[in-house]
């Protein structure tokens, strides 16, 4: 299947700082990428959908100014957690789809563990 | 919006036995139904999927069956092995909409 790479896999940052997570589709062009957050023993919670070259669409309750998403190319999307706080500590996962995002399946990255201290 | 339920939430089977996980959904227009396996600390991995024009699909020890009338689909794992132990998520998508995931099933295969 298609490969989606996410980096870093683990990151620790100080409270108040910003951290960037990258999501790359390695062997296909991802017109749409999705960002999820997952709490322990829970399902995936969609945070936002990003389409290449346009602004991301955020789910209700997700602060767009706190979770900045950029999808500048067909193979890269980034999630920046700004002014991070301990409650932002979580497992963040991206996924990517070709064919416009809604006409095909999605493949997930390996996830990024964020710990804010 | 779409509502996806998944049962059971936990499942323990003896190695070699079969495991079945069921998902029900609410939107009759949904047309794509993948299953993902998530191991601890990793991202979900697509293991099998089925589209609405197919009733059953099989890939070695894994199969998925779909009942569109009843709006449910099931994951079947035969001859389970310890490495099958993971959390399994079903997902549902209506063309043009995002995926909606089930709450997950924690499968434990006991040696």
pLDDT in tens, A66-101: 999 998 888 999 999 999 999 999 999 999 987 644
Structure tokens at B30: 């949904």
pLDDT at A101: 45
Q: Return the exposure string of B69-94: e unless at least 16 CB atoms fall within 10 Å of the residue's CB, then b.
A: eeebbbbbbeebeeebbbbbbbbbbb
Of the candidates A109, A90, A96, A110, the one whose C-alpha atom is nearest the C-alpha of residue A11 is A90
Q: What is the pLDDT of residue A1?
A: 64
- Mutate one of A11, A49, A79, A105 to test the B interface: name it (highest B CB count within 10 A): A105
pLDDT at A107 over 70: yes
Tens place of pLDDT per residue across chain B (111 aa): 788 999 999 999 999 999 999 999 999 989 899 999 999 889 999 999 999 888 999 999 999 999 999 999 999 999 999 999 999 999 998 766 678 899 999 999 999
Q: Do B43 and A42 touch (CB under 8 A)?
A: no
Minimal Cβ distance to A102: which of B44, B97, B103:
B97
Is A111 in Cβ contact with B41 (below 8 Å)? yes
**Separation of alpha carbons B77 and B80, rounded Å:** 6
Residue B99 has its nearest CB partner, among A93, A106, A109, at A106
Q: Does B43 touch chain A (CB under 8 A)?
A: yes
For chain B, count helices (H), then strands (E): 0, 11
Question: Which contacts (CB < 8 Å, 24+ apart) does range A38-41 have?
Answer: A38/A90, A38/A91, A38/A92, A38/A93, A38/A111, A39/A90, A39/A91
| Helix runs in chain A, H state only | none
Question: Most B CBs within 10 Å: which of A10, A33, A43, A97, as the mutation test of the B interface?
Answer: A43
Contact at CB, B46 and A105, closer than 8 angstroms: yes
């Amino acid at each position: 299947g298609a490969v989606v790479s996410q980096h870093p896999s683990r990151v620790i940052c100080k409270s108040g700082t910003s951290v960037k997570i990258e999501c790359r589709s390695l062997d296909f062009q991802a017109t749409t990428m999705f960002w999820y957050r997952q709490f322990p023993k829970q399902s995936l919670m969609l945070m936002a959908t990003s389409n290449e070259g346009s602004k991301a669409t955020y789910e209700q309750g997700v602060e767009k100014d706190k979770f900045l998403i950029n999808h500048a190319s067909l193979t890269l999307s980034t999630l920046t957690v700004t002014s991070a706080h301990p409650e932002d500590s979580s497992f963040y996962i991206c996924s990517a789809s070709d064919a416009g995002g809604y006409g095909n399946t999605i493949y997930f990255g390996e996830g990024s563990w964020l710990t804010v201290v | 919006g779409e509502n996806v339920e998944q049962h059971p939430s936990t499942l323990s089977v003896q190695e070699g036995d079969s495991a079945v996980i069921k998902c029900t959904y609410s939107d009759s227009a949904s047309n794509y139904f993948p299953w993902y396996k998530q191991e601890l600390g990793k991202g979900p991995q697509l293991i099998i999927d089925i589209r609405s024009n197919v009733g059953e699909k099989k890939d070695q020890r894994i199969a998925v069956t779909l009942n569109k009338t009843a709006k449910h689909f099931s994951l079947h794992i035969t001859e389970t092995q310890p490495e099958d132990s993971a959390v399994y998520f079903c997902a549902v998508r209506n063309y043009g909409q995002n995926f909606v995931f089930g709450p997950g099933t924690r499968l434990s295969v006991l040696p």
